[in-house]
Amino acid sequence: MDSKIIYEGKVIIKVPKFEKITAKAPVFYNPAMELNRDLSVAAISAFKELVDHDISVCDIFTGTGIRGIRYAKEIDGVQKAVINDLNPLAVELSKENITLNKLDNVMVCKEDANIILRKCKGKFDVIDIDPFGTPSYFVESAAASLKSEGMICITATDTSALCGTYTEPCVRKYGAVPLKTEYCHENGLRILVGFIARIFAKYKKYIEVKFSHSTEHYMRIYAVIGKGAANTDESLKSLGYIAHCKNCLNRIVFKDLTPIIPGKCPVCGGIFKVGGPLWCGEMYDQDFICLMKDIITKLTLNKEDSANKLLDICIKEANAPVTYFEIHKVCKNLKTSAPPLIDIIDLLIKEGFFVSRTHFSPTSLKTNANIDELKNIIIDLKQLLN
């Protein structure tokens, strides 16, 4: 295998030479996921600080070993990292990479991901699931395996299913109906979280989402797990549905598993499309994200600026309502051109509404103004600007 050396965080890693990123590579490595790995190092370090004891981590889809090796090298208090891949070439390369980084706290396995999780039940404080495509086949084993009060880190790259390009794959994999709207990335991330919450609930475990994001071609969530039937029942009250009107862009969030959803939009009488079940609860923990930012100042990250930019916007988003308004879409619906986003934000604030930008889209905002209130603000602003 033709290979080359790359540097990421504090590690040095041998990766296959590649012209194009493909799952068909002898061993998979994607440089575009460096930000994902940087944020993971920060999030697991924050988790380690919160639990205040040494931790064991499992990277069940390791590829070159880069993720688990980074956790072992860059996070203080990783007593043991188990890195695993079904591909024998990946296992060999991971062993070479452990030697290159002079680590003695990393162990390599060659198992199917579900098997290793079942075999190592109760052994890991952190389980990282970073598969090709959907993580849905592996969440059940993680739920059965993870220690109480552990953390799961889950990537999904099947964003077209989660965002509703086609409905059926999302229903098959996540048991949820997607909504193909301008805020489909948020819906998709919430469908993923809702799915994870329902799977963990079978084991009387509940999730507290610490940080989540949708970036480029993937979605990622970090959640800490709690235990107990009563708390789990309470947490499932965060599941619900979104009804969306394509005619006027009104949307209503129903935080309930058996809501009474009107068939027609109360604003314009258009037909409501309904998506869910999905997670209508918290998607970020401000204190946790601030801790990640603190930790980042002490790490060596190539993507430090991008990581901070994302974390800053997520801190603001933490208090925002579910769904966001894409301003060009709203203005098209109003048959007018879009005024500057910053002016809309300023006027909304002046009128007493909550507003934040969103990491999901640079041309969108989150607000507690409803669609009519937002449209009126835009109309007023256009008059002021003319």
Ligand X SMILES: C[S@@+](CC[C@H](N)C(=O)[O-])C[C@H]1O[C@@H](n2cnc3c(N)ncnc32)[C@H](O)[C@@H]1O
Binding site for ligand X (CB under 6 A): 28-30, 33, 37, 61-64, 66-67, 84-87, 90, 112-113, 130-132
Minimum separation from the CB atom of position 266 to Zn ion (A): 8
DSSP, collapsed to helix, strand or coil, labels residue 181 as: coil
Q: Are 163 and 180 in contact (CB under 8 A)?
A: yes
From 248, 274, 299, 341, residue interacting with Zn ion (rule: CB under 5 A):
248
- E strand intervals along 114-165: 126-129, 151-156
CA distances from 364 to 68, 92, 312, 355 (A): 35, 46, 16, 10
How many Å apart are CA 13 and CA 147, to the nearest integer?
30
Name which of Zn ion, ligand X, none residue 62 binds, using a CB cut-off of 5 to 8 Å depending on partner kind.
Answer: ligand X
Report yes or no: 188 and 163 within 8 Å, Cβ to Cβ. yes
Please report whether residue 371 would count as binding Zn ion according to CB under 5 A.
no
Which residue's beta carbon is nearest to the bound ligand X?
Answer: 61
According to DSSP, residue 31 is labeled G
> Which tokens belong to 262?
């009107």
Describe the strand order of the beta sheet including 272-279 as a list of residue ranges.
251-254, 239-245, 272-279
Task: Closer to ligand X by CB, 67 or 375: give it.
Answer: 67
User: Sign of the CA dihedral 73, 78, 79, 81?
Assistant: negative
Task: Verify binding: residue 267, Zn ion, rule CB under 5 A.
Answer: yes
d(C-alpha 159, C-alpha 185), whole Å: 8
Which ranges constitute the DSSP H helices of 57-183? 66-74, 88-100, 113-119, 139-145, 159-163, 167-174
265 near Zn ion, rule: CB under 5 A: yes
Which of ligand X, Zn ion, none lies near 39, with the C-beta cut-off 5 to 8 A by kind?
none
Could you tell me the smallest distance in angstroms from the CB atom of residue 8 to ligand X? 10
Among 250, 323, 361, 364, binds Zn ion (CB under 5 A): 250
CB of 33 to ligand X, least distance (A): 5
Of Zn ion, ligand X, none, which one does residue 342 interact with (CB within 5 to 8 Å by kind)?
none
- Least distance to ligand X from the beta carbon of 111, Å? 7
User: At its nearest, how many Å lie between Zn ion and the CB of residue 348?
Assistant: 20
- Quick one: what does residue 212 bind among ligand X, Zn ion, none, with the CB cut-off 5 to 8 Å set by partner type? none
Q: Where does residue 34 fall: left (phi above 0), alpha (psi -120 to 50 degrees), or beta otherwise?
A: alpha
Residue 267 interacting partner from ligand X, Zn ion, none (CB closer than 5 to 8 Å by kind): Zn ion
Interaction pattern, residues 269-298, with Zn ion; x per rule: CB under 5 A: -x----------------------------
Residues that bind Zn ion (CB under 5 A): 245, 247-248, 250, 265, 267-268, 270
